[in-house]
């Protein structure tokens, strides 16, 4: 179990999910625009003041899930095993496929929240907002407002992510090579690089091979197990 967790962590790290917000900058800008416009509506002020943390959290989870699902389905990243022998590898690959955009969308959402919080603080008249919601405007009011606006913006970004062209997707690189953190010398005799990769994984300029061979993933597992095997030999 621990070795599989280490392997999964290595794959996700190699995918560089933190580059999602940078690669999908058009989606980020569209989401920020949607959130900034929503801040101008009194309905958003009233909803943020009455929904409470639990409902806002549920809205955030639903919006983020929609964006993650859209990224995976729209770019055909879900792997279906073609034989019984590929099920375990395909399952590992699919878990990494879900975890990678989850981290990226979380970073995207946090960035949107900060931007919208600054926008609300800078642009909204406190007295007008107070008259609408029925109580003075404080930091908690702005936090709740930015929280709801970020959820709305994330949902808008989920729809906009399907409109990214190939050039924008090439710049993201969030599904990069499976082994950037491992020295090339350690993988030369294990990993056979392929010049042409599956179109289903052409989400970024740097691409990851499908799990038909999974040689790179197996190589990561071997390197991760090396310290443990060395420790046993020393003992």
CA distances from 28 to 64, 67, 114 (A): 13, 12, 13
Lowest mean pLDDT among 151-155, 191-195, 213-217: 191-195
Section 85-95 average pLDDT: 81
Question: And the tokens for 32?
Answer: 């920020």
Please determine, for residue 51, whether its predicted confidence score (pLDDT) is greater than 70: yes
**How far apart are alpha carbons 157 and 167 in whole angstroms?**
18
Residues 6+ apart with CB under 8 A from 216: 177, 178, 179, 187, 191, 208, 209
* Confidence (pLDDT) at 171: 43
Please determine, for residue 165, whether its predicted confidence score (pLDDT) is greater than 90: no
Please determine, for residue 119, whether its predicted confidence score (pLDDT) is greater than 80: yes
Radius of gyration of the chain measured on its C-alpha atoms: 22
**How far apart are alpha carbons 112 and 132 in whole angstroms?**
24
Q: Does the reported pTM lie above 0.85?
A: no
Section 138-150 average pLDDT: 94
Section 27-33 average pLDDT: 85
Residues 6+ apart with CB under 8 A from 38: 44, 148, 149, 152, 153
Band (pLDDT 50/70/90 cuts) for residue 129 is: very high
Question: And the tokens for 215?
Answer: 């040689």
């Amino acid at each position: 179990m621990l070795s599989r967790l280490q392997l999964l962590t290595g794959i996700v790290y190699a995918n560089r999910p933190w580059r999602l917000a940078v690669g999908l900058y058009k989606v980020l800008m569209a989401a920020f625009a949607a959130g900034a416009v929503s801040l101008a509506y009194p309905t958003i002020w009233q909803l943020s003041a009455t929904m409470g943390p639990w409902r806002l959290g549920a809205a955030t989870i639903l919006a983020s899930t929609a964006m993650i699902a859209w990224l995976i389905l729209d770019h055909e990243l879900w792997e279906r095993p073609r034989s019984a022998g590929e099920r375990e590898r395909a399952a590992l690959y699919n878990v990494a496929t879900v975890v990678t955009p989850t981290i990226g969308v979380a970073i995207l959402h946090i960035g949107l929240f900060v931007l919208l919080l600054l926008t609300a603080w800078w642009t909204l008249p406190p007295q007008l907002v107070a008259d609408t919601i029925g109580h003075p405007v404080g930091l908690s009011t702005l936090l709740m407002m930015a929280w709801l606006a970020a959820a709305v913006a994330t949902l808008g970004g989920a729809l906009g992510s399907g409109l990214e062209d190939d050039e924008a997707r090439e710049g993201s690189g969030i599904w990069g090579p499976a082994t950037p953190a491992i020295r090339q010398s350690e993988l030369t005799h294990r990993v056979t690089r392929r010049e042409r990769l599956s179109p289903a994984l052409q989400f970024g300029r740097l691409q990851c091979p499908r799990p038909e061979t999974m040689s790179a993933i197996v190589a990561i597992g071997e390197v991760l197990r090396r310290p443990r095997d060395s420790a046993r030999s020393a003992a």
